[in-house]
Structure 1
């Protein structure tokens, strides 16, 4: 007979996922708030540094499943990106560049003002540029929202992720080289990594639809084929030192260009995706330590507010040029608030790569926790205020 402790330990993750799912269902029914906010709260409470039900984060199978879940979301996001629209309306892309650059500068200045080391401030600024696609896609699907703001938030979150990955890797490179030629060398390496990740995703995007056509399955349910391909792509990127974020986005984008699109029933990758999304948000929040969250609390609140201001102002400034009202432009910027899952997974990857500098990012743990809970609520409210969520009367 196995002892009770070992049985409970082996059941920790299944029980946590089931508990988070129940919290999400009842929480959404009682409050109208997004389910993923409740997944995050449960994950954080059960984390090894809090109640201690879940084991400390490591490179085990749960971490791999979380990365695969993130890859599936990014593939779906890429599959919804319309490059032709961005070419025809370049002001959307310009607004994204401005808001992410403004975010970088303001968060860097805040971090320096709070006494952070330069490298810490730079990494915080780079991570703050991003918008978490896991939260954006999940809330948009849950709300069944559609319209100008919805599409802009999707496109800008994809752009923000690519910019953040590039900036984060370039800054890490500069910190590692620490020589006269550090900047050019690090930027070049980051660009090469970005390009290689895009190529890897594009190759998958060409091969998988071709394979589906060869076996006569291109017009049928392709969920399993794409899910398996994302699993393989994410795993290869992890091994090869490429960015699974950028590769999965490129994969989805290329598949769209090959005229293979998701049907409505395949959103979130069906039941498989639903379960993995719960696991992703529980895992991400469980890696946070309440001591780090409280240590970086005040600075985190300022960073969250400054980041919201930068993104809202940056997008709103180009509202009329890009063809929408000031109000819808400001709400689009507000919809870019989610950040948590992206930041947590990026930091976990950097930590496992042996980069000790990420251990100093206490405030980002607090930022991640704040936006793990409030990020989904902010984008949900923005979609409702923009009148793009047909089920808003349930959530109001």
Structure 2
């Protein structure tokens, strides 16, 4: 019997990933909804606190694979960011700063109103600034979306990620300083980590294109080379305790501006990217506990609604100055709703780094679950309403 249990336990992840993929394919065919919503639902149902098929998340292969999957998506996001456009139209960046700051302040005061401690409220507000690039990039690619709302959502998503990681690391640094009074450790876990992570990504963004040019035919060989480089970069950041989010985003941004072609056919990194995306969303949802979701339900609804409103208002307020209509500004704000995967991976890394207050932040589980399921759907509808993606078709 123990041998049988061990065999079944070793099969849990392959079985879960296969079931999630099947659910995504059939779910998308029957409903027209994004596949990743179904990946998340399967991961949640099979998690240890629910049906108990998957083991409790621990640092190891599953987290590393999730980081690699997230790294590939962040690289692609960084690769699609056009800094010249932001310099030409600085109001896009201003709108991003405005909606992120408005979200931080609003979420902080809502959390405090629900009795959340100051440092926890700061971390929660920092996380709420973010938009999940995993969801945004995946849904945009799946819908083959293009247009003003699509491009602004991608650029603001990248800005939100950087701001959220910065604010979250500063909050973590403050927590470390308050608990240990070690200023050096606090600085290392906040600003220094971000600087070293960004520098690592920039170095990869310089070296990999140079190697491809030496090899010749960089456009044909770029996909495999970039995928291997992302895997190596994520592994380095994972080992050294750096931020894979900042590193891979900086890598993609630098690689784009080194003018290495990354063709449309290579989006999502092909079959490797498809597989790792399933792993990422199943892993993220498997960290959630239904009891904590119920416990945080009231605050979750308030935070989700507040966050949606602040992002909508923040972008819409500068819409005309940024060169689009208020309607498209509002739809861009709505498109920034997804959050879940980004938050889960940041929390997992902080917990494994010894930040114990993260356990108290599990009240965000309800927010995460709501946006794990509905964030992709909200984004899909925003793109359809902006007429930048076709109305999804599904089987009768």
One fold, TM greater than 0.5? yes
d(CA) in 2 for partners of 1:145 and 1:28? 17
**2:133 is matched with which residue?**
133
Q: Deviations 1:184-238 (Å, cap 9, x if unpaired)?
A: 9957963332222111101101100111111224131321111110011111112
1:394 lines up with 2:387 in the alignment: no
Structure-2-length-normalised TM-score? 0.96
Contact 1:255 1:261 in 2 (8 A): no
d(CA) in 1 for partners of 2:143 and 2:385? 12
- How do 1:320-359 residues align onto structure 2 when only pairs under 5 Å count? 320-359=320-359
**2:152 is matched with which residue?**
152
d(CA) in 1 for partners of 2:186 and 2:103? 22
Contact 1:79 1:261 in 2 (8 A): no
Structure 2, unpaired ranges of 5+: none
1:232 lines up with 2:232 in the alignment: yes
d(CA) in 2 for partners of 1:161 and 1:183? 25
Cα distance change on mapping 1:3 and 1:365 into 2, 3 Å: same
d(CA) in 2 for partners of 1:378 and 1:182? 43
d(CA) in 2 for partners of 1:100 and 1:19? 36
Contact 1:128 1:339 in 2 (8 A): yes
**1:205 is matched with which residue?**
205
**2:377 is matched with which residue?**
377
Q: Once the 2 structures are TM-superposed, how far is the Cα of residue 362 of structure 1 from its aligned partner?
A: 3.0
d(CA) in 1 for partners of 2:247 and 2:135? 19
1:244 lines up with 2:209 in the alignment: no
1:95 lines up with 2:98 in the alignment: no
d(CA) in 1 for partners of 2:218 and 2:315? 38
**1:301 is matched with which residue?**
301
Cα distance change on mapping 1:89 and 1:27 into 2, 3 Å: same
Give the count of matched residue pairs: 395
**1:106 is matched with which residue?**
106
Cα distance change on mapping 1:3 and 1:208 into 2, 3 Å: same
Contact 1:166 1:194 in 2 (8 A): yes
Structure 1, unpaired ranges of 5+: none
Cα distance change on mapping 1:75 and 1:385 into 2, 3 Å: same
SS in 1 for 2:320: helix
Give structure 1 regions of 4+ aligned residues with deviation exceeding 3 angstroms.
181-189
d(CA) in 1 for partners of 2:85 and 2:165? 23
Structure-1-length-normalised TM-score? 0.96
Q: Deviations 1:151-201 (Å, cap 9, x if unpaired)?
A: 00000000000000000010111111129x999995796333222211110
d(CA) in 2 for partners of 1:34 and 1:60? 29
Contact 1:173 1:182 in 2 (8 A): no
Cα distance change on mapping 1:100 and 1:203 into 2, 3 Å: same
**2:56 is matched with which residue?**
56
d(CA) in 1 for partners of 2:341 and 2:118? 24
Q: Once the 2 structures are TM-superposed, how far is the Cα of residue 55 of structure 1 from its aligned partner?
A: 0.7
d(CA) in 2 for partners of 1:149 and 1:99? 15
d(CA) in 1 for partners of 2:50 and 2:377? 24
SS in 1 for 2:393: helix
SS in 2 for 1:221: helix
